[in-house]
């Protein structure tokens, strides 16, 4: 292999390693703690779950895509919608049929 070819192979390998190790835009940002309105329930939202980012909203996919979470960037208020009728049984009692949907709202904050 010529010196030029050897050099090009090294450059390509270095660029590929850099590209693989560089974090994606969707994975950047803080972990969020979200409080369900009218409840003591809280849940965490991780940067790797973000699927869309705009000036106004951050959209997250939870529970392998069965739940979507939209957080308003300015107010940090959220709406969370789960389509649980795709499951074989209820999340509350396995002997019941699945719930059609679950809808929650509340507020989020950056985790400490």
pLDDT of residue 20: 44
Mean pLDDT of 71-83: 94
- Give pLDDT, residue 3: 59
Q: What is the pTM of this model?
A: 0.67
pLDDT at 84 over 80: no
Comparison of pLDDT for 57 and 98, the residue scoring more: 57
Residue of 55, 56, 78 whose CA lies nearest to 67: 78
Q: What is the pLDDT of residue 61?
A: 93
- Which residue in this structure is represented by tokens 């950056």? 110
Question: Are 99 and 89 spatial neighbours (Cβ–Cβ below 8 Å)?
Answer: no
Residue 65: the pLDDT is: 79
Res 85: pLDDT:
75
Q: Which of 69, 74, 35 is nearest to 52 (CA)?
A: 69
Closest CA to 62 of 84, 77, 93: 84
């Amino acid at each position: 292999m010529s010196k030029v070819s050897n050099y090009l192979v090294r450059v390509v390998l270095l660029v590929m390693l850099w590209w693989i190790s560089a974090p994606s835009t969707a994975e950047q940002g803080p972990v969020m703690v979200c409080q369900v309105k009218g409840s003591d329930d809280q849940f965490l939202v991780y940067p790797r779950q973000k699927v869309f980012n705009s000036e106004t909203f951050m959209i997250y996919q939870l529970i392998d895509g069965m739940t979507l979470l939209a957080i308003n960037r300015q107010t940090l208020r959220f709406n969370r919608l789960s389509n649980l009728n795709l499951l074989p049984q209820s999340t509350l009692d396995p002997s019941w049929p699945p719930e059609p949907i679950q809808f929650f709202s509340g507020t989020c904050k950056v985790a400490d």
